[in-house]
Amino acid sequence: MTIEDETQRDLAPGEARCPGPGVQDFYALDHNPPPPGLMAEHYVYAGSEPLAPERYTSLEFHEREIEKVWRKVWQVACREEDVARVGDTSVYDIGDDSILVVRAEDGRLRAFWNSCLHRGTALRTEPGNVAELRCPFHGFCWSLEGRSTEIVCEWDFPHIEPDEFNLPEVRLDTWGGFVFICMSDDAPSLVDFLGPLPKYFDPFPLEHRHTVAHVVKVMPANWKVALEAFLESFHVIRTHPQVLSYVGDANSQYDNFGSAFNFNRMISLKAIPSPHVAAFTSPEDTLQTARETYGWEGEIVLAEGVTVRQELARAAREELADRTGLDLSNSADSDILDTLQYYLFPNFVPWAGVGLPLIYRFLPNGHDPDSSLMEVWVLQAHEPGSDFPAPAPLRRLSLDEDWTKAPELGGLGPVFNQDSFNMPRVQKGLKTMRGKGVMLANYQESRIRHLHGLLDKYLES
């Protein structure tokens, strides 16, 4: 144990940090410094109480989540680009609820309960472009605005008032090119729900990006087990040891802004060695990992006094600008290299920056508390107002198909596999767990603690 560790034992809970330089210390050395939003820390200690394992395994808990969380909270239904043209539709299923998102004739997006007002048939089961919303069972029909346009054999329905037979709407709003829905009329507006989150994305407008890869996979664990595996860099030491000479893991920065806010974030630096191995890692080791694991192919010559991080940021900025045609001259080194990952309760994980343009979403898989869906978007930035290609089609991977079956994810596939291999063991072990329950690290797992605090707020409301 180092001297710093022993000193830190006297600190108040949550104040201890990995010995050695942290994110802000490295930022001070970057050639292009990060935007102001990244240059502050916002950690709030929220206790060290264990979590009950049943939160991840019990059907009863899952059913409470459906009722108290999913039916109450703003959540992502799809991308705006999925429903860009008049008549485009997208189906969002969660638990037993199904919401149909439609681009109407007036250009506005609307969300409807996906259920025919005759005998309940789901109006649509797949995305697609339509001129009207016609039920496949008996043919009742609604306009794209949800107005009743045909009641088949109307003479037999004198008890239906056609003007009042319109599809009930669900609340809908958008942010960052994502369509959000909310099934509760009592919830605050999306703007209130997001709070200051959008301000952190001002330098990285997600609405000016388009989908170049989109994959959803059935995961062998509860949606929170799957999600939480991506909310900390603590696991890199054992789960992704091949990247240790390139990834700042234990010295990542975790911010949660307190329980009044529905989002948190993690900053994990790249192109520096992990504190676990820094003492015996050379700059050439870091470069070698960049080549092998992250596919870096450019030549790097380190001038006197220049660090690998500084040089890789410069070279990667040039390569990315050439490849995308974007002007990245003002992009921070951190925007190009690092994991700048936000989390919005309950299940949305948008990344900031331009070098790793990822989005994750996690969902329960129907009513099975032991499996879930993990969805990944890779978004390519484009200039506002420019033409961009139609979104890449969604690839669906089953429980048994691993992430490398989605070659469009490139080097991410093997890394996601490493994360996924742990999950059935976590789910299995949680069911037989003894001791006090799930013990979270005060700092490195504080985003998970924050998630469960928000979850409790909804469950207890």
Rounded to an integer, what distance in angstroms lies between the CA atom of residue 252 and that of residue 326? 28
Residue 54 binds Fe ion (CB under 5 A):
no
Closest separation between CB of residue 367 and ligand FES, Å? 24
Looking at 119, 425, 431, 436, which residue binds ligand FES (CB under 6 A)? 119
Closest separation between CB of residue 110 and ligand FES, Å? 19
Question: Which residue stretch of 81-89, 124-132, 385-393, 415-423 sits at the interface with Fe ion (rule: CB under 5 A)?
Answer: 415-423
Question: Which residue stretch of 1-9, 132-140, 218-226, 420-428 sits at the interface with ligand FES (rule: CB under 6 A)?
Answer: 132-140
Rounded to an integer, what distance in angstroms lies between the CA atom of residue 420 and that of residue 230? 10
3-state secondary structure string across 71-86: CCCCEEEEEHHHHCCC
In the range 357-386, which residues lie near ligand FES by CB under 6 A? none
Burial 64-83 (b: 16+ CB within 10 A, else e): ebeebbbbbbbbbbbbbbbb
- CB nearer to ligand FES: give 138 or 199: 138
Closest separation between CB of residue 115 and ligand FES, Å? 9
419 contact, one of Fe ion, ligand FES, none, CB 5-8 Å limit per kind: Fe ion
Residue type, 60: E
The residue among 119, 81, 116 whose CA lies nearest residue 100 is 116
Residue 237 binds Fe ion (CB under 5 A):
no
- CB nearer to ligand FES: give 155 or 280: 155
Closest separation between CB of residue 146 and ligand FES, Å? 14
Rounded to an integer, what distance in angstroms lies between the CA atom of residue 354 and that of residue 338? 9
- CB nearer to ligand FES: give 99 or 438: 99
Helix (H) or strand (E) holding 3: helix 3-8
Question: Which residue stretch of 90-98, 310-318, 344-352, 413-421 sits at the interface with Fe ion (rule: CB under 5 A)?
Answer: 413-421
Residue 419 binds Fe ion (CB under 5 A):
yes
Residue 118 binds ligand FES (CB under 6 A):
yes
Closest separation between CB of residue 228 and Fe ion, Å? 11
Q: Are 30 and 310 spatial neighbours (Cβ–Cβ below 8 Å)?
A: yes
Burial class (CB in 10 A: 0-12, 13-18, 19+), 376: buried
- CB nearer to ligand FES: give 137 or 257: 137
Strand-strand pairing, 339-344 and 263-268:
antiparallel
Closest separation between CB of residue 51 and Fe ion, Å? 20
Omega before 346 within 30 of 0, i.e. cis: yes
Q: Are 209 and 379 spatial neighbours (Cβ–Cβ below 8 Å)?
A: yes
45 contact, one of Fe ion, ligand FES, none, CB 5-8 Å limit per kind: none
- For residue 3, report the phi and psi dihedrals to the nearest 5 degrees: -60, -40
Residue 145 binds Fe ion (CB under 5 A):
no
Residue 140 binds ligand FES (CB under 6 A):
yes
Rounded to an integer, what distance in angstroms lies between the CA atom of residue 20 and that of residue 39? 18
- CB nearer to Fe ion: give 97 or 419: 419
Q: Are 24 and 41 spatial neighbours (Cβ–Cβ below 8 Å)?
A: yes
Closest separation between CB of residue 130 and ligand FES, Å? 15
Question: Which residue stretch of 115-123, 165-173, 408-416, 443-451 sits at the interface with ligand FES (rule: CB under 6 A)?
Answer: 115-123
121 contact, one of Fe ion, ligand FES, none, CB 5-8 Å limit per kind: ligand FES
